[in-house]
Amino acid sequence: MVRVMVFPRRYVQGEGVLADIGKYLAALGDSALLIWDQNVSDMFSESVMKSLEENKVKGVPFVFSGESDRTQIGLGIDMVHKAGVKVVAGIGGGKAIDVAKAVAWKGGTKLVTAPTIASNDAPTSSATVYYTEDHIMDGWEVWPGNPDVVLVDTQVIVKAPVRWLVSGMGDGISTWFEAEAAYKGRRGAISGGVSTLAAWTLARLCYDTLMTFGVDARRDAEHKVVTPAVDRVIEANTLLSGLGFESSGVCTAHAIGNGLTAVPQCHAFTHGEKVAFGTVTQLCLDEDKDPAERNRVVDWMIDVGLPVTFADLNMSDVTEAELLNYAAGFVGPGSIAHNHVFPVTPFSLFSAMVAADALGRERKALKGK
């Protein structure tokens, strides 16, 4: 049994740090490919290019399609080779960052990730999740290292729609339960080993931070202000969740979150929203979980605005046969759902999803929602 923990080389979080990106890029090289989508480019290219100029870094923009697919990654690698850049920076959501990781590792450059939303834990990790051009998850790849710099501008993040911050909480709330489940079976994480005390502790801190500050952070973020609650939740969603999941392991919550990308009714939902429902399901699947704690987590999800029922995920019209079929897909050979210490079958997962939906409906009714 080998314990492995992996990290980005530097994590920077604060108000206005994106407008200083040139300073961080200059420490890594004198030219950078900037990967962003059209929307992010429209919002930030002026301030980013100014910072590059001030720090004597040549910026080469690459406006990608918005999807983390192999075509976009190929285009990015071509640009790295043609322009001979030393650094790749992914600026935007998880997909821009995942494309940037692949382009940097395959192109042989340094890597900076600068999330403009705190919707998931991609910015710190060494993995790229691939999607098809039709937005269905299409596997993932783990790179030999993590980003050189993770640059998290809290002022930028709090100005984005609050749904993204809430989605990041959905991704983050799963971290502790998945870490705990994976470690019980001494299952390895994508870091290449089993959890360390450090990753284990950070996964737990992620959970405690979100449960304590999540509701306040949502309210404050609706008013577009960075408060201590918002600052802590951004760190939980990005750093704590990222280090926790990557070096402690994932399990059923993510098997479902990833699997739901193949359910057409769910296409409009974010990664974190799907993982939130996956977390409720995992808590209903695991006989060791305390029902009182499970209920507290579901109540918290309702309070912050995460989906806890089929109806919340637009899945009300999915038939029992379809659901069983999806469940079979989620626990196929090699599925991360098998990281539990107990066997997970299509039928046990189907049953847990039905139980999660019923629990979610009951807790919402108790709250009058």
- Amino acid letter for position 295: N
CA distances from 202 to 180, 236, 237, 324 (A): 12, 9, 12, 35
Beta bridge partners of 12: 151
Residues 6 or more apart whose Cβ sits within 8 Å of residue 294? 280, 283, 284, 359
Q: Any idea how long the chain is?
A: 369
Q: Which residues bind Zn ion (CB under 5 A)?
A: 171
Contact 128, 101 (CB under 8 A): yes
Contact 95, 137 (CB under 8 A): no
Task: Read off the tokens for 74.
Answer: 């190929």
The nearest distance, CB 254 to Zn ion, in angstroms, is 6
Question: 139-159 burial, b if ≥16 CB within 10 A, otherwise e?
Answer: eebbbeebbbbbbbbbebbbe
Task: Compute the distance between CA of residue 149 and CA of residue 168 in angstroms, rounded to an integer.
Answer: 20
Show the CA angle centred on residue 298, arms to residues 154 and 282, nearest 5°. 100
Task: Read off the tokens for 136.
Answer: 């269905």
Give me the residue label for tokens 């600052």: 231
Strand-pair category, 137-142 with 127-131: antiparallel
Nearer to Zn ion, 160 or 253 (CB): 253
Beta bridge partners of 284: none
* Strand runs labelled E in the chain: 11-14, 31-36, 58-63, 87-92, 110-115, 127-131, 137-142, 149-153
Name the residue among 318, 337, 319 with its Cα closest to residue 328.
337
The nearest distance, CB 271 to Zn ion, in angstroms, is 6
Task: Compute the distance between CA of residue 62 and CA of residue 81 in angstroms, rounded to an integer.
Answer: 13
Name the residue among 141, 291, 293, 126 with its Cα closest to residue 207.
293
